[in-house]
Structure 1
Amino acid sequence: MTGYEARDRLYTASELLEGFLPDDELGFTKTHDFSVFRRFYMDGFTAPLSIEIRQQQAAHDAAISGALADHLTTARPLVGVMGGHKLTRTESAYLLVVDLARYLTRENFLIATGGGPGAMEAAHLGAMFAYADDFRLNEALNEIQKVPILPHLIGRLFDDAGSILPDRREHLREAHLWLQAALRAKELCPAPYGESLAIPTWKYGQEPTTPFATAYAKYFQNSIREEALVAKSKTGIIYARGGGGTLREIFQDVEENYYEEEASAFTPMIFFDPEGYWQNDAAVDPETGNVSRQGIKLDGVLREIFKLARARRRDTEQCWSKIRFTVDFEEIVGLLESHRGPAQERRALMLQGHAGDLPATP
């Protein structure tokens, strides 16, 4: 199998991690997931070498989109959690995402993320342990924090023949240990697992896909994946601390909300960080480049954007009430619950043609 074959269902963690060798220091690279990434890279990465390759990848992604639509026809209200892949497993922002995702899963929401490390992993970990007791969750956190940081995996990994470059082997050994810690933590979760949905891409296939989700809509084209992640999260989107990728998702969401005809359809945007990351400018030493305080101040910018966008509709305040900078779990649930009806209608419209009778959940 090339990995490009069209499918009629989403992936599972066991399918993506098939071939993993726990005792091999490069066991992560033996998985089906990494093998597909290697093939994707050798076939031109984001610029396929032939029309045949492009067509195979497109057929795969189209089939995944269909499988995702089928999956969502029976899913609970979908809440996106976006955030940076660099967030470490010991940071307070990571641990708070774990707690929030656990709380939201217990409140009958389905968590969806981009399926990578950092804030995304934290969301799936929390969702999986939603029905486990605190002792089991803390055991899992203790296990996963033995390898708190994912190594630097950006940049070329292979030579022209597809072999791993010698100077990158140590990074992949560290990635293996990072994934192995997650798998040990997963083993500590008793049944039933809390469900969650990951929507990753092989564009970032050098990073291990989190094993904590219960379904994976994995794409080759990142643009399709981003559209699926933002567009499907109609109940609301939560933004944990993040960088460039998270900013792209924020402003994709801003664009969709900008053009909404009715304030009732405006999707809630929740900026979630215990240190007010989205409400503070970064503090950077101009001489050394050292960052003493992280932050990207968005509250004023977003207010001005939507003041302009909603001026003619005269519903600026109504829309602004759906943008929150908060870490209050009950406030977040209250906002998401208030949008349940409009989200249900929007999801039914998006999934029209993919299934017959749709359920009464968004």
Structure 2
Amino acid sequence: MQPIPSPTASHDREIESLEEFDEVVSERGSLARYRVQAVDLTARTRALLTMDCAGAVFLGCPMDPEAAARVRATGALVFPPVPGLPFDPYRGRLYTPDELFDSLDTDYEATPDARAYAWFQRTKADGDIFASMVRAIHDDAVSDALDELLVGARVVGVMGGHAMARGTREYEGAARLGRELARAGFTVATGGGPGAMEAANLGAYAAPFGPEMLTEALQLLAKATSFTPSVTEWARAAFDVRERWPAGGPSVGIPTWFYGHEPPNAFAAHVAKYFANATREDGLLARSNAGVVFLPGAAGTVQEIFDNATPNYYESRGEPTPMVLVDRTHWTERLPAWPLLQSLARERSMESRIALVDRIEDAPGALKRLGG
């Protein structure tokens, strides 16, 4: 076993599972200055009654009342679990599709994902500072978990519209793009929803399998082309694919309950779901350190193009991240974002970091040429 590092860096001080708790107790004999996050400690009363907990912080950790009183008395801060919520605001890990879609066998409305959205709808406009505080704590915890996951990863963001239907040529192309990026060693990150986002996550999921897997999976998914009118049937089709081909490749989805009518997709192994869409958008683009591919989309995708272009425009410490726009007609005629992006790029000599390609198959090559 590797020795437990001294608690200097913030992540070194975080305990996010019972196994990590037991390691620290065994190796260090002290919880001083540690942050224990969303770990059920009701079976660790003896350790809590004897450990040094000075300066420790316990975030949403169920524990025996005697243990809670004792750790407070030794100088720890204890933030108790928040009752009555359909989510844990102190969570130490990203979501998984299985967690968000638990109870899908009953109906999507019974799932934690749907219940969290319903809670958000009830509380987002009532001005309750407690609800807004809980949302902020949750989103900060998700960001922390996402940063921990992506340490050292080469992340390519794939952006595109939610309306891209299963069974279409465009959806298949986005899936093949995700597969090629994953096989090239990139971590694929998307907005985590349906359409182009789901397709790219599906492609990354398919990366370890032979070519026939993706072909058959696309056929199975085409039985429920959209999340409307039934999210339940749409999600069940995805879980049928996962059940037939378990242990697919990992990728990241970063959806939001702000657009809660759009469900998360089941193919991103790691789901960083936020209440605040602005935090989600900025976080997705900021973490796409190896480049971003923009598939055809509408207003949301246009916003993402310029959300990404802005920090690139003002970048002064290093190279801007590559940007690849797919479908010349879409980005020069239907929604002419490309001419404006070119103008911004010329002002900052960024032309070598942006590209416009006609076909989705050309995106990986363009990304490579740009230095992604």
Q: TM-score, normalised by structure 1?
A: 0.75
1:202-221 superposed Cα distances (whole Å, 9 cap, x missing partner): 11122221000110111111
Corresponding residue for residue 190 of structure 2:
113
Paired residue for 1:188, among 244, 251, 267? 244
Structure 1 unpaired stretches of 5+: 152-170, 282-294, 311-315, 340-362
Counterpart for residue 277 of structure 1: 330
| 1:80 aligned counterpart, secondary structure | strand
Q: What is the distance in 2 between the residues matched to 1:221 and 1:90?
A: 31
Q: Deviations over 1:124-154 (max 9, x none)?
A: 0000001111112111110100111232xxx
Question: Which whole-Å deviations, capped at 9, do the CAs of 1:221-263 have from their partners, x for residues lacking one?
Answer: 111111100111121000011111111111111111111126x
Instruction: Output the CA distance in 2 between the equivalents of 1:114 and 1:269.
Output: 16
Contact 1:137 1:189 in 2 (8 A): no
Aligned match for 2:113, one of 18, 30, 33: 33
Separation in 1, partners of 2:368, 2:297? 24
Taking a change above 3 Å as real, the CA distance of residues 136 and 243 of structure 1, as seen in their structure-2 partners, is same
Rounded Cα–Cα distance in structure 2 between residues aligned with 1:330 and 1:227: 23
Pairwise CA RMSD of aligned residues?
1.7
State the alpha-carbon separation in 2 of the partners of residues 247 and 198 from structure 1.
Answer: 19
| Cα distance in structure 1, aligned partners of 2:182 and 2:252 | 12
Cα shift readout 1:19-49 (whole Å, capped 9, x = no counterpart)? 212xx4xx111111101111111113xx353
In structure 1, the partner of 2:52 is: none
Aligned residue in 1 for 2:30: none
Residue 212 (structure 1) aligned with residue 267 (structure 2): yes
Larger displacement relative to structure 2 (228-237 or 179-188): 179-188
> Residue 54 of structure 1 aligns with which residue?
132
Q: Which of 213, 234, 243 is 1:136 aligned to?
A: 213
Runs of 4+ off more than 6 Å: none
Match of 2:355 in 1: 324
Secondary structure of the corresponding residue to residue 265 of structure 1: coil
**Percent identity at matched positions?**
37
* Equivalent residues of 2:291, 2:367 under 8 A apart: no
Note if contact 2:182-2:204 (Cα within 8 Å) is conserved in structure 1: yes
Match of 2:97 in 1: 13
CA distance, structure 2, for counterparts of residue 50 and residue 259 of structure 1: 37
State the number of aligned residues: 285
Q: Is the 8 A contact 2:158 2:293 kept in 1?
A: yes
Counterparts of 1:79 and 1:97, CA distance in 2:
13
Contact 1:236 1:269 in 2 (8 A): yes
Aligned residues of 2:89 and 2:141 also touching (Cα < 8 A): no
Q: Write the letter of the residue equivalent to 1:40.
A: F
- State the alpha-carbon separation in 2 of the partners of residues 335 and 150 from structure 1: 36
Bigger radius of gyration? 2
Alignment partners' CA distance in 1, 2:151 and 2:172: 31
1:1-362 → structure 2 map (5 Å cutoff)? 1-2=84-85, 3-21=87-105, 24=106, 27-44=107-124, 47-74=125-152, 76-151=153-228, 171=229, 174-191=230-247, 193-261=248-316, 264-273=318-327, 276-279=329-332, 281=333, 295-308=334-347, 310=348, 316=349, 319-326=350-357, 327=360, 328-335=362-369, 338-339=371-372
Deviations 1:89-131 (A, max 9, x none): 1222221110011011001000001110010000000000011
CA distance in 1, matches of 2:346, 2:126: 42
Aligned residue for 1:79, secondary structure, equals strand
Give the conservation status (yes or no) of the 8 Å contact 2:257–2:274. yes
For residue 299 of structure 1, report the CA deviation from its aligned partner.
2.5
Per the alignment, residue 347 of structure 1 pairs with none
Bigger relative contact order, structure 1 or 2 (CA pairs below 8 A, ≥6 apart): 1
CA distance in 2, matches of 1:182, 1:277: 29
- For 1:270, what is the secondary structure of its paired residue? strand
